[in-house]
Amino acid sequence: MAPWLVPRLFSPALDAQIGGSGLRSALLPSSTSDSTTTSTSSPPSNALPRALPASRAFSTAALAAAAPARSGLRSSKLTRTTAASRLEQTTTHLAFSTSSSASMPPLAKPSTNHYDMVVIGGGSGAMGVSRRAAAYGKKVCVIEEDGRLGGTCVNVGCVPKKLMWHAADMAEHLSEAPEYGFGDVNNKPAVPGFAWNYFAEKRDAYVRRLNGIYDRNLDKDGVEYLSGHGKLTGANEVEITMRGEDGKFTAGTHKVTGDRIVIATGGRPIIPSDDKIPGASLGVDSDGFFALREQPKRVVVVGAGYIAVELAGVFNTLGSETHLLIRHDTFLRPFDPIISETLQDHMSKTGLRVHQKTNITRVEGERGGPLTIHTDNGSPIEADCLLWAIGRRPNTDNLGLEHVGVKLDQGGNIVVDKYQKTNVDSVFAIGDIQGKALLTPVAIAAGRKLSNRLYGHASLKDDHMDYTNIPTVIFSHPTSGTVGLSEPEAVDKFGKDKVKVHTSKFVSMYYGMLEHKAPSAFKMVVGPGDKVVGLHIVGLGADEMLQGFAVAVKMGATVKDFQETCAIHPTSAEEVVTMVPTTHKP
């Protein structure tokens, strides 16, 4: 059995290093005062009052089968046995202990039969909407089934992903240090090996600490946290199948009513079925990436979106032989070409092996062992880990939506209007579940604005999320960011003659001392009236510099506004305000 598929919950060495009293007790707040919980993002959340028992640690079979099993278990009929089985597989798959300390469990049952707002889900959107509603004095409960608050972002998304990116970034800086005069500048020493297991457990401890913080935030705001599965049984009624301390849904069933019901159950990654691609289940999904306890030497990542590019970049930069399989010529195709083309060209030069126009036809091997991956383009690839990053689907199964007539689109997303309201007046949906802009800050903002509109001052009665000009960053190598329209989108919207582009391609000063250089490439897309309608940047520091420029784009700044802003020198960001108009048109 491959060692990277056999994680332990805690490392004795790390436990001793932190203080010898136990990793959980060292990193989670002690629980003598707080009694409930909080939440934040999209898919999982909940909090049992103890760590997972040893019998629930990873099995190789659970790791590879968890995602498809979880999908299959969301049948239209939830029995307590099925719920317990799904939960056990989910927590096993994620291999984290629960978010609460022993003295801070979720409530054993609802404190009342009626709430102003009932929120199903415990991720980012749920946190935003529930805590804001409570701030207006409303009685609110949050129902979460997965054992931890925080959702995808905190548990198996943004937060642990960024920490892995930081580790990979550190590896790059270590390799570059001698050229800046550190160590033996004539005979560059090898970069120290990366202790994946140590870092993964330290990363997970950080995540558990965040889980505990979310728990306490809900408690402080007066939001009730109920650990269980919520299902609509009426337009204003939710049935809660409670989860016991053993992780099984056998702790009783309660029905509560709510003036408003908010669905914020997020989404989950998908893996092809074995019927479609024989052996596909031998791979893991993006959740499974965070379950790896040892670094695989050879990795195949399948997908062309930002998750695939980010995780492939981490593997490659940390030294794994990494193959990225994409169906078309380029990855990141929904982004502006300056991002996809610049990144694909550079990352290919750093050792990432990009297989264009390649699809997997079958996978051979055994769980936990070497895999032979057959494709429709070229020789088979031998790998120790196959990671699918081919998309996500909304968690709309078994929520009782059909019982009350809530409309879904063809992708299974809940259909909402600009106020996050479904076709059922009392039911709302926020976050990934409604299929637009699957980003944590979007879910939080949409949730807060919904509660503002429902319960706030009269001036907030039209408050709603604006889904235009949302900035986002790809934690690639180097990083990249985008806000507004891409060049092709601007041309489609305004016409070719109404669009101008300003570009700047250069090498950051940091690389002036280095033999191997990473590119910087900036593009400003200008629409009618010289308004900046899009900004796309690749290069060192792109992730941090985009936020400020996004404010300007959101405010409708023109090229003149940018150019009349004095540059900060010497920085890469100054290129954004010094790019001169060019004659290039799309």
The answer to whether 405 is a known ligand-binding residue is no
The answer to whether 137 is a known ligand-binding residue is no
The answer to whether 307 is a known ligand-binding residue is yes
The answer to whether 201 is a known ligand-binding residue is no
Q: Which helix (H) or strand (E) holds 106?
A: none
Q: DSSP letter at 242?
A: E
The catalytically annotated residue of 323, 502, 569, 584 is: 569
The answer to whether 436 is a known ligand-binding residue is no
The answer to whether 495 is a known ligand-binding residue is no
CA atoms within 13 A on the CB side of 34: 28
The answer to whether 391 is a known ligand-binding residue is yes
The answer to whether 527 is a known ligand-binding residue is no
Residue 354: phi and psi, rounded to 5, are -95, 120
Cα separation, 479 vs 578, in Å, equals 21
Q: Cα-Cα-Cα-Cα dihedral of 182, 187, 192, 193, to 10°?
A: 150
Question: Strand order of the sheet with strand 500-507?
Answer: 472-474, 480-484, 532-538, 519-526, 500-507
The answer to whether 223 is a known ligand-binding residue is no
CB < 8 Å & 24+ apart, contacts of 460-469: 464/418, 464/419, 464/420, 465/418, 465/420, 467/436, 467/437, 467/442, 469/550, 469/553, 469/554
Six token digits for residue 549:
């420029």
The answer to whether 435 is a known ligand-binding residue is no
Cα separation, 427 vs 420, in Å, equals 9
Annotation says 569 is catalytic:
yes
Note whether 47 and 218 are within 8 A (CB): no
Helices and strands of the chain, counted as H and E runs: 17, 20
29 Cβ contact partners less than 8 Å away, ≥ 6 residues apart: 101, 212, 216
The answer to whether 534 is a known ligand-binding residue is no
Six token digits for residue 42:
């999209």
Which residues define the annotated binding site for NAD(+)? 303-310, 391
Q: Which residues does the annotation mark as catalytic?
A: 569
Which residues define the annotated binding site for FAD? 162, 230, 432
Which residues define the annotated binding site? 162, 230, 303-310, 391, 432
